[in-house]
Amino acid sequence: MGFLFIFNFNLIIFSYPLGSKHVAISHVAAIEGRGLNLGSHLKGPISLEQLKASKEEGKGRRRRATTKKNDPSDSKRGRVVMAMEAVRLLFCGVNEFPDSINFTRFFLRNHPHVQVDELSLEDVVDNIYKYDICVVRKMKFDESAISRATKMKLIAQFGVGLEGVDIPSATKVGIKVARIPSDDCGNALSCAEHAIYLMLALLRDQKGMDKSIASRQLGQPTGQTIYGKTVLIIGFGNIGKELVARLRAFGVHILAIKRSWKNKLAHVPAEGHDASLVDEAAGNEALYEFASRSDIIVTCCPLTPESAGMINDKFLAAMKKGAKLVNVARGGLLDYASVKAALESGQLGGLGMDVAWYEPFDPADPLLEHPKVVLTPHVAGVTELSYKNMGKIIADCALKISALEEVPGLEIVN
């Protein structure tokens, strides 16, 4: 049974008993003459200083308590007090994509009943039984790990990639698996911008410019423009659509391949069809033809058993000689030996990668040292915009689970 107390018509305390303990949530309820104000949401941008401060503040708050007895002084402070389940949230891996946990902690800084931890990948399996929610990041979450996750309610990715999660095993034991849709949180937009960054780095010869600076030479190398180029986008999901919107300003001819487009489509499909965003669109049967006409090829498709190693000898031989390749999806789409050989022969004119065949990268890898290769450390989707939004989504999910409510903002895949 719940109780509603009203004191002097100024403060409202809504309390649910849970034995002798209560958990306080942070919203201040005050009647200010114009209605109830529950505004505790973040206002304005988050600075790195705020993130660091909230991280330390959260540690101290967790040390103090996660639950408390009903305190009469709550009525003076105007706190909304209600029973909440204590929840433990785990981020897998230490010092991997660190702002994913920093932003999540920021949004949970006033909710001490949610404990947010990170563990090294080696320590996850032995401790996973303690946690209700797991954000896998780069963890391979197989049947062995899932079998020990006896409290687990949700396995989520801070982004979209779930190829490391054994989804059938999770489904078998009733654990939900989810990703954060990339279209609404800024992730796809960020990846699209990064793809253009890699295109420019290749066309303007980033490593050549670094060499000129080191040798104090001016006016070289001579670069190329994106203007007038033909760009092929392989995989026309959220990233592909965001990429098209930004490429239009560069004056390019855009081709797109999407598996569900079964045949080569009309030059201008019906308005409202995704294919209407590009100049030419087709299914996989046109892959090699489109590759032969493209100056720049961008891979945006997911890694599946069918797409693994698709950038192989046959594909690279079909490409226009000297064309550039950009990969902002998954390293496994590219066959290492084929790409290395194509770079050495000049068939492939440049490779821009935000992902590779193994991570973290080996800086001594001869392919990565090639003068026509530009590598970034898996940061295409790592922007303040996307991480702030995704951190808020994970935080909200933890709060909903603690309240035994349906989780928002996620795409459940099982």
The reported pLDDT for the residue numbered 35 is 29
Q: What is the CATH number of domain 187-375?
A: 3.40.50.720
Rounded to whole angstroms, the Cα distance separating 317 from 311 reads: 10
**Mean pLDDT over each residue of the chain, to the nearest integer:** 83
State residue 265's pLDDT score.
60
SS (H, E, C) the chain: CCEEEEECCCEEEEECCECCEECEEEEECEECCCCEECCCCCCCCCCHHHHHHHHHHHHHHHHHCCCECCCCCHHHHCEEECCCCCEEEEEECCCCCHHHHHHHHHHCCCCCCEEEEEECHHHHHHHHHHCCEEECCCCCECHHHHHHCCCCCEEECCCCCCCCECHHHHHHCCCEEEECCHHHHCHHHHHHHHHHHHHHHHHCCHHHHHHHHHCCCCCCCCCCCCCCCEEEEECCCHHHHHHHHHHHHHCCEEEEECCCCCCCCCCCCCCCCHHHHCCEEECHHHHHHHHHCCCEEEECCCCCCCCCCCECHHHHHHCCCCEEEEECCCHHHECHHHHHHHHHHCCEEEEEECCCCCCCCCCCCCCCCCCCEEECCCCCCCCHHHHHHHHHHHHHHHHHHHCCCCCCCCEECC
CATH number, span 3-184+384-412: 3.40.50.720
- Distance from C-alpha of 149 to C-alpha of 138, rounded to nearest angstrom: 17
Q: What are the beta bridge partners of residue 352? A: 326, 374
Distance, CA of 21 to CA of 83 (rounded, Å): 8
**Can you give the pLDDT at residue 260?**
86
For 13-39, how does the pLDDT look when each residue is reduced to its tens digit (9 = 90+)? Answer: 333 333 333 333 233 222 232 222 223
Q: What average pLDDT does the segment 92-96 reach?
A: 92
CA distances from 171 to 123, 147, 166 (A): 23, 11, 9
The pLDDT value recorded for residue 363 is 87
pLDDT at 332: 94
- Per-residue pLDDT, averaged over 326-330, amounts to 96
Please give the positions annotated as active site: 330, 359, 378
Residue extent(s) of CATH 3.40.50.720 domains in the chain: 3-184+384-412, 187-375
pLDDT at 44 over 90: no
pLDDT band at 273 (very low <50, low <70, confident <90, very high): low
Does residue 257 surpass a pLDDT of 70?
A: yes
State the pLDDT at residue 53: 55
Lowest mean pLDDT among 161-165, 200-204, 296-300, 371-375: 161-165
pTM: predicted TM-score of the whole model, two decimal places: 0.78
